[in-house]
Every structure is written in C-alpha cells, then in structure tokens.
Amino acid sequence: MKSPIDLTQVDLIIETRWLCPVVPVNTLLEHQAVVIQSGKIIDICPVANADKEYEANETVQLDEHVLIPGLINLHTHAAMSLMRGLADDLPLMSWLERHIWPAEAKLVSPSFVHDGTLLACAEMLSGGITTFNDMYFYPELAATASIKAGMRANLGLVVLEFATQYANDAESYIQQGLEARDHLREETLISFSFAPHAPYTVADATFERIMILAEQVDIGVHTHMHETLQEIAESEQTHGLRPLSRFANLGLLSPTLTLAHCVHLDAAEIKLLTEHGCNVAYCPSSNLKLASGIAPITEYAKHHINIGLGTDGAASNNRLDIFTEMRLAALLAKGQSGDATAISAHQALEMATINGAKALGLDDKIGSIEFGKLADLTAVKLDNIETQPCFDPISHLVYVSGREHVSHTWVNGDLKYCKATDSRGVFSNIEPQELSEIVTKWQPKLGEFKS
C-alpha cells in the first residue's frame, strides 16, 4: 500500500454499491469507485483499490445506490415548461393552433425563454438529466439559463418560414442562429444543431440550405418527423410524397439527422433510416397524450436504428421525466409487439444515455461511465420500501424507480443537484425562490390562453 504522500491526488471519488456503466452492454459492477479529476473519469476500480491509490478532495459514499451515466433528453422545448397544463386533452394541431401558437405569438421573448428554460433545467437536474437537446427560440437566452444551472445543452437553431417575435423569415432565423452559435462557441457546456421545425412549416429550398450549412459548420440537424397521420396526409396532398420520402428525394437523410417522434413509418421508411444512419428521438408520453400513436420501436431496434428518448415539451407531456419515458418505451414495445422480450431494461437505459449521446455526436464524451469520459453522472437510491427487494438494479431503474429516487446529479464532476433524506433537494446554482418568482410572473400572463 502506498504511503499517504505517494497517493495520487484527485478531485472526487464516488464509491457506489452498484455501477451500471452502460458500456459494455449488460454490465453491472458492485462496490466500485469512480475516480474524477478535472471533470473527467480517470479510473473505475474496486473501492478497496481506490483507497490504496488515491487521496480525494471529496469522497461521496453511495452505499444504497446505483450510479449511472447522466440521462439525456433527446427532444424537448425547454422554455415551454411555462406552458405546463395550459391546454390538455387535445389533438396536436388543435393544441398548437388554438392555444400554443397564439400564446407564443404574444408572450415569447428573451425573458420568457430564459425563465422557462431555467425552470426546465431545475426539473431535469432533479430527475437525473444532465443533457438536453432543445428546439426553441432565442437560443442565447436558453444558453444563459442552462449555463447558470450547470447543465449540458444542445441548442437547436430554430427555422420557420413564417414570422414570429424572434425572426421574420427563414433567412433571418438562419442568420440569428448562426450568430448565436458564434457568440457561444467557447462555452464548453453548449453545442448546437439546426432545428428546422417540421416538414409542414419549412420549404424544400430552406431544408436544402440548412443541410449545406450544417455540414459546413459541422453541426447536426434536429426536426419533427411523421408525428401524426394528419401531417403525412397533408404532405401527400401538397407534395405528392410522405415527409420522409420528401427528405430522401432532397438528399437530407444522414447520420447527423435526428428525427423527433417517427410514430408512423412503413417498412420502406424504416429501411431508409437504416441505410442512412438517421437517429430517432422517441417521445412516448407526448405521443400518447396527443393521441399521435405508438412508434414501432421494436422494428427500429431490429434494424439497428439509433433510438434515443425525449420528453417533448412540458406543454405536451407534461413532465420532463426520462424515467417515465424509459418505462413507457419498454412497456409499449412489449404490448405492441406481443413479445415480452422486446426492449429490455438495459436497452431502455441505453436509449436514455449512450444512444442520445450518439445522436448528438457526443458519445466520445458522455453517455456511459468509461475512462476518459466527462463525469456526467446520476445516482439513484434504492433503499426505499417501494424499491425493495432489489434483485436487479438495472431492471429497477426502468420498472420500479422514478425521478423521485435521484439523489445526486453531477455534470463535469460538479454536483448540480443533491437530495438528502426527506429533503426536497438542493440545486448548486439555482435558488428555489427564483423558480417560484418565475412561476408567479408568467402564470397570470399565460392563463388567458387556457380556454
């Protein structure tokens, strides 16, 4: 054993009862230490070995927990947390046209986006989410909020053909987005993608221009796709093609493309996604709530399509809760396919972690607990009566536990959220009073759009 003077000095050691690194597949380790220095994982070893090799500035003991990679929300509209419950029990287009779009036209502003995104970040951090893939207006204000919270964010540079408070036409959306990217390119927690809203709100020429620009500046593209049957029918009437076929004809399909929802794909379209390596952001709660349907993800998985999980916005879910999405993804796959082995618990966890990282082009940095990766980590406590007995912690993560069992959330090895026993939880950089003031400020203004 080394003498104290010979021990390697490190920032943090997390000692955990169980460790699920996600990579390699179906791996579960016990009584492990994750050693962190300068925000990165520099060792994963038995606790006894860590005690002999390292001296940490801080050691966190998680005797009743499973440690997993930080969860990734692959599709959301974070600022819409202010619209939670604004208009429920409506189909998608009625929900958008009668409530959401009118509210946005009047109220969306830089302060709306900052405040709504900060509220969303608090909810996500408390549920073990360390990274989110956003699609909304004023990305610089979303960045300010996510940086304040200490979260990792991929900010979608929204593009539409029609005017909003944010921009006047497609070209002005593109230019404002590129300017935001230039201003924020040194922020290590922030990455970007172009986010043309949907095939029914963006023209062919604009999609083609976006794909060229995305390749030039080396960022991905994130859009809605085949969310509803109505969307597909209207595309066939307007363009003579289903939306995904339209994309294929335009040469838009690629491994840097993330398609949100993909509820209604036929066999030929599944083949297209497979051939081009596209990513799917599956949002089961939102798809169910808006009666959009159930995506055939067992077929996607059989064809090795990369499937991540998203919550969509809090206005259509109404939770930013990846634990719920994992459970629904696994259960709906079994019920839809008639195969109880479809989408295992570990596959659902992969969707919530490494698959989301792959879609964002960040799988060399996050999404699994591996040597050299960034220390984005989530601890889930499994000692409560409702989580006992525990025969398989990975199964418990998906079928038993929920976001209320998250005890710690780290980003870059920095603790951003912690919940002690019988505590509501404490954020490192967000004051509860600030969140209460945000709700008090915006709820009366949004209330007129409820009915």
What are the pLDDT digits (tens) for 117-165? Answer: 999 999 999 999 999 999 999 999 999 999 999 999 999 999 999 999 9
Question: Which CATH entry fits the domain spanning 71-359: 3.20.20.140, 1.20.1090.10, 3.10.20.30, 1.20.950.20?
Answer: 3.20.20.140
The pTM (predicted TM-score) of the whole model is 0.97
User: How buried is 134 (Cβ within 10 angstroms: 0-12 exposed, 13-18 middle, 19+ buried)?
Assistant: buried
- pLDDT confidence of residue 91: 85
What are the pLDDT digits (tens) for 211-268? Answer: 999 999 999 999 999 999 999 999 999 999 999 999 999 999 999 999 999 999 999 9
- pLDDT confidence of residue 449: 87
- Say if residue 104's pLDDT is above 70: yes
Residue 59's Cα: distance from chain center in Å?
28
How many CB atoms are located within 10 Å of the residue 139 CB?
29
- pLDDT confidence of residue 2: 56
Segment 35-40 shows an average pLDDT of 98
The domain segmentation of the chain, as residue ranges, is 4-69+367-419, 71-359
Four-residue CA torsion sign, 14, 15, 17, 23: positive
- Say if residue 5's pLDDT is above 80: no
Q: Which amino acid is at 90?
A: L
Segment 94-111 shows an average pLDDT of 92
Contacts of 160 (CB under 8 A, 6+ apart): 167, 170, 173, 196, 197, 201, 202
- pLDDT confidence of residue 422: 61
- Say if residue 352's pLDDT is above 80: yes
Helix (H) or strand (E) holding 433: helix 432-447
Beta strands in 321-384 (DSSP E): 377-381
Q: Contact at 8 Å (CB) between 178 and 146?
A: no
The tokens describing 442, both together, are 């915006």
- pLDDT confidence of residue 421: 63
| Rounded distance between C-alpha atoms, residue 135 and residue 450, angstroms | 23
- Average model confidence (pLDDT) across the chain: 96
Segment 86-106 shows an average pLDDT of 89
Q: Which residue has the higher pLDDT, 354 or 5?
A: 354
Helix (H, G, I), strand (E, B) or coil at 163: coil
Q: Report how far apart, in Å, the C-alpha atoms of 90 and of each of 96, 257, 286, 288, 349 are.
A: 9, 29, 12, 11, 30
CATH superfamily placement of domain 4-69+367-419: Urease, subunit C, domain 1 (2.30.40.10)
| Rounded distance between C-alpha atoms, residue 385 and residue 337, angstroms | 32
What are the pLDDT digits (tens) for 58-74? Answer: 999 999 999 999 999 99
| Beta strand 54-69 pairing with 40-46 | unpaired
